[in-house]
Structure 1
Amino acid sequence: MSTPQNLYRQKLTSAAEAMRLVCDGDSIIVPTGVAEAPSLLTALSTQRHHFRDVKVSQILAVGKYGYLDPETAANVRHVALFFGAATRAGGQAGWVDFIPNNFSEVPTQIERGQIPAQVVFSMASPMDEKGYFAIGLGADYTMAAIAKARVVVLEVNPNVPFAYGDCHVHISQVTALVESSEPVREVGLPTIGPVQTAIAQYVADFIDDGSTLQIGYGGIPDAVVMQLTHKHDLGIHTEMIGDGILSLVECGAVTNRRKNYLPGKMIATFALGSEKLYRFMHRNPMLEIHPANFTNDPMLAGMNDNLVAINATLQIDLLGQCGSESLGYAPFSGTGGQSDFVRAANRSRGGKAFIVLPSTAKNDTISRIVPILAPGTHVSTSKNDINYVVTEYGVAQLRGKSVAQRARELISIAHPAFRSELTEKAQRMNVL
């Protein structure tokens, strides 16, 4: 009789042996961040010289594995859906590929074959008595890939939480299993300084009790979290759950009681944080992990009344265009869910979308508010979607404003040392 336990034993193998399932030309889908399977990616790296034209597609790599090597990119090549520290240099040098995307649409692109998915490597919780694993550290686009792939290999680790939501994979869907017991990678909170704190205080003043939050990754969004501990009955509908959100649960600010959409539930698609966070996620009925085409869909997320989206950018021009993912033409990160949640907040009844940034860079020598974006800059949030922009000098509300009104609002929150120059350039452009 093929019980789940019997199937488990039959499919159990080593990471090195699992590489036999990968064929030349395959695309391997790997989930976001700490949900990546380290034993499998290490084995792939060790054997990379034996492969030809294998791709590893992932929205955020956190491990610096051996296959991330320009000398063997023809053997195994990384395809980034979002750049991080592990892949940024390769993207800027051209030996790591990049697929532009909105996070919410990646599962559909996989389903339609626009992003190929022959193989899946993912971390997973131990199997339950009914034969299900949870990939709660990153359901993202991985659930769609599992439904599509020829080969599904799970790295089963007792430190991976069994989360609730649409993140469960049955043993019958799995081709092979490997086991590991190393602690799940931990990602600490970003550094928060006085500029980030000043910006956070402005944003926090706009967040009412009972609001539902989407909080992006970065020093400023996490600084906002620290300003919200006195709030009441906040809800969570986000893409990333991290330790900042956990702190709001622990202090009682997040209860999800006043959410009108999925009340009582925190909703996310991946986790990035500490071992404490991962323990919190384990069989916690307060939290559900779902694919990104559910969590990030602007129409679905926008069903939350009073949705507040908080995301960071690198540069913004006087028209309101946000360059959040490149330094000129040099890639830096990716769109991720920024556009998804800005649009969701704009749809939400009582919603507010905040784009946050320090007014300057490089020790106050460069203004991040500019007349026009640097040539080649990747626009993440468009002029049509922008709502609130916040620096340490204040808040500019741009939605419904003319070009001239926008310019005045943005110049008023620029660093004082650059306001005259910005005004002069705006006049030369016939904006003012």
Structure 2
Amino acid sequence: MLDMNIISTMEAVEMVKSNDEIVTGLGCSEGRLFMESLHLIADQVENVSITNCLPMHKFEFMDEKYKETFFINGWFYSPAVRTLHRNGNASFIPNNLHFAATKRLDHKKPSIYIGACSAVDQHGYVSLSMGNTYERRMMEAADIVILETNKNFPRTFGDVEIHVSEVDYFIEAEYEVPELPHVEPNEKDKTIGQHIADHIKDGDNLQFGIGGIPNAVAAALYDKKDLGIHTEMLTSEIAKLAKAGVINGSKKSLHKGKIVTTFIMGNQLLYDFVNDNPSVMVLDGNYVNHPTIIAKNDNQISINTTLEIDLTGQCASESIGPIQYSGTGGQADTARGAQDAKNGKSFIALYSTAMIKNKKTGEREKRSKIVPFLTPGAVVSLQRNDVDYVVTEYGVAKLRGTNVNERVERLIAIAHPDFREDLWKQAKELSIVGGA
């Protein structure tokens, strides 16, 4: 008989004390039942901090009326946390994802770790299932470890197997694994996706995230063969390519034959694919996302997106002006690691324009996302020194090794035609390039 300390959700929540530091899992790994009930002790505690990353739900404790009691520290913002930030009870933790756990632990240790896991197996182990970006390191540092054990969560392998003796308390759960809605690529996505796919060769090793552009890249890869995966995020599109035989990892120089990831997020097809699948390795985020590890993958291809890029190559990928929108995530990790790899390449993709509201007229107007200088206050997620290829629907600009004049010329060439003349004019007026 396994010795599992099963408690109720309220028994778990009532362990929280004033001034506690709570950490929960990334995305699908968050402790949902615990978080759903946390507001019930609002009148019993004060100054409780919750550290999370890309939360999938807006919980009651996040309501503005509880802002004097609960405070969110976010490694990566979602819409719910953006709202809290505006209310004054959330703050972003600047980070490159591979250092998320180690640097945070150098600053603060968690009182409680709460996350999700699979059902216990016949050997007395549960799997952390959906990820280990920082989860296991936080568990090892926490005073109390609570896991919500759930038969609906897939059993995955790697650095995620936990013996029940390592866990203080379990909550029994039955909710479904959260799913991300499929983003169908539009025509711009498909064009950008094909531009990138044209640079991908048989046997290359890939990292890409989720959204219309990554989905379009994936859709353009079905004529490739022997592709490998070393990625922070394992997506539904990756699972589809693997099931189709496009991805098999046979040419990988590191973890040959294995799909390597640090967290999983997508749809039920993906969750069925990773369940009990020994070809999928869910490893520690400090390892998977460390640039020196990424660089050990020959032919590594990194594919990321940005919100805005200036004419010298600086990428603002996580904020709109000074307003935090998402997070750095692994963009810098993967871009640097891919370029250090033998035959590696890093791609940054974006639409050439966006519809932005004019503050004076209130009307939306088309503006270039390739700009002379970033919106004042914008966070530079990827410095210009680390930018390799930039892709819009108008083509590909290879910036590796180029000087600023060459960068300006190449980036304007892939800007929307309506803005190219003005971009040249401003580049000269601002002395980004020399000459009259």
Q: Would you call these one fold, judging by a TM-score over 0.5?
A: yes
TM-score normalised per structure 1: 0.96
- Give a deviation string over 1:235-274, Cα, whole Å, max 9, x none: 0000111101011111111011110111010011111111
Unaligned runs of 5+ in 2: 356-363
Residues 1:322 and 2:318 are matched in the alignment = no
TM-superposed CA distance for 1:364, in Å, is: 6.6
Number of the residue aligned with 2:353: 360
Residues 1:301 and 2:302 are matched in the alignment = no
Provide the C-alpha distance between the structure 2 equivalents of 1:389 and 1:364, rounded to a whole number of angstroms: 24
- Give a deviation string over 1:90-113, Cα, whole Å, max 9, x none: 22443211111111001212443x
Q: Structure 1 residues 93 and 420 mapped into 2: Cα distance closer, same or farther (>3 Å)?
A: farther
Secondary structure at 1:430 match in 2: coil
Contact 1:218 1:312 in 2 (8 A): no
Provide the C-alpha distance between the structure 2 equivalents of 1:196 and 1:279, rounded to a whole number of angstroms: 27
Number of the residue aligned with 2:360: none
Contact 1:215 1:309 in 2 (8 A): yes
User: When the two structures are aligned, how many residues end up with a matched partner?
Assistant: 425
Number of the residue aligned with 1:134: 127
Contact 1:46 1:66 in 2 (8 A): no
Provide the C-alpha distance between the structure 1 equivalents of 2:168 and 2:64, rounded to a whole number of angstroms: 30
Contact 1:83 1:91 in 2 (8 A): no
Secondary structure at 1:50 match in 2: coil
Residues 1:377 and 2:365 are matched in the alignment = no
TM-score normalised per structure 2: 0.95
Provide the C-alpha distance between the structure 1 equivalents of 2:86 and 2:236, rounded to a whole number of angstroms: 30
Provide the C-alpha distance between the structure 2 equivalents of 1:75 and 1:320, rounded to a whole number of angstroms: 42
Provide the C-alpha distance between the structure 2 equivalents of 1:61 and 1:402, rounded to a whole number of angstroms: 40
Residues 1:185 and 2:178 are matched in the alignment = yes
Residues 1:37 and 2:38 are matched in the alignment = no
Provide the C-alpha distance between the structure 1 equivalents of 2:365 and 2:259, rounded to a whole number of angstroms: 39
TM-superposed CA distance for 1:169, in Å, is: 1.7
Q: Structure 1 residues 418 and 249 mapped into 2: Cα distance closer, same or farther (>3 Å)?
A: same
- Give a deviation string over 1:108-141, Cα, whole Å, max 9, x none: 12443x2432211100001122221111202110
Residues 1:431 and 2:432 are matched in the alignment = yes
Residues 1:67 and 2:68 are matched in the alignment = no
Any residues of structure 2 matched to 1:174-213 within 5 Å, and which? 174-213=167-206
Residues 1:310 and 2:311 are matched in the alignment = no
Provide the C-alpha distance between the structure 2 equivalents of 1:125 and 1:323, rounded to a whole number of angstroms: 37
Secondary structure at 2:101 match in 1: helix
Provide the C-alpha distance between the structure 2 equivalents of 1:242 and 1:48, rounded to a whole number of angstroms: 36
Any residues of structure 2 matched to 1:93-172 within 5 Å, and which? 93-112=87-106, 114-172=107-165
Greater alpha carbon shift after TM alignment, 14-23 vs 327-336 = 14-23
Which of 80, 85, 92 matches 1:86? 80
Provide the C-alpha distance between the structure 1 equivalents of 2:215 and 2:111, rounded to a whole number of angstroms: 37
Amino acid at match of 1:69: D
Unaligned runs of 5+ in 1: none
Which of 280, 284, 295 matches 2:277? 284
Residues 1:52 and 2:67 are matched in the alignment = no
TM-superposed CA distance for 1:276, in Å, is: 2.1
Contact 2:64 2:87 in 1 (8 A): no
Provide the C-alpha distance between the structure 2 equivalents of 1:235 and 1:364, rounded to a whole number of angstroms: 41
Secondary structure at 1:198 match in 2: helix
Contact 2:148 2:172 in 1 (8 A): yes
Provide the C-alpha distance between the structure 2 equivalents of 1:198 and 1:29, rounded to a whole number of angstroms: 40
Amino acid at match of 1:379: V
Secondary structure at 1:400 match in 2: coil
Q: Structure 1 residues 93 and 405 mapped into 2: Cα distance closer, same or farther (>3 Å)?
A: farther
Identity %: 37
Runs of 4+ in 1 over 6 A off after TM superposition: none
Contact 1:61 1:84 in 2 (8 A): yes
Number of the residue aligned with 2:361: none
Contact 1:237 1:268 in 2 (8 A): yes
Number of the residue aligned with 2:404: 403
Provide the C-alpha distance between the structure 2 equivalents of 1:251 and 1:230, rounded to a whole number of angstroms: 11
Amino acid at match of 2:222: T
RMSD: 1.2
TM-superposed CA distance for 1:145, in Å, is: 0.3
Provide the C-alpha distance between the structure 1 equivalents of 2:87 and 2:400, rounded to a whole number of angstroms: 37
Number of the residue aligned with 2:244: 251
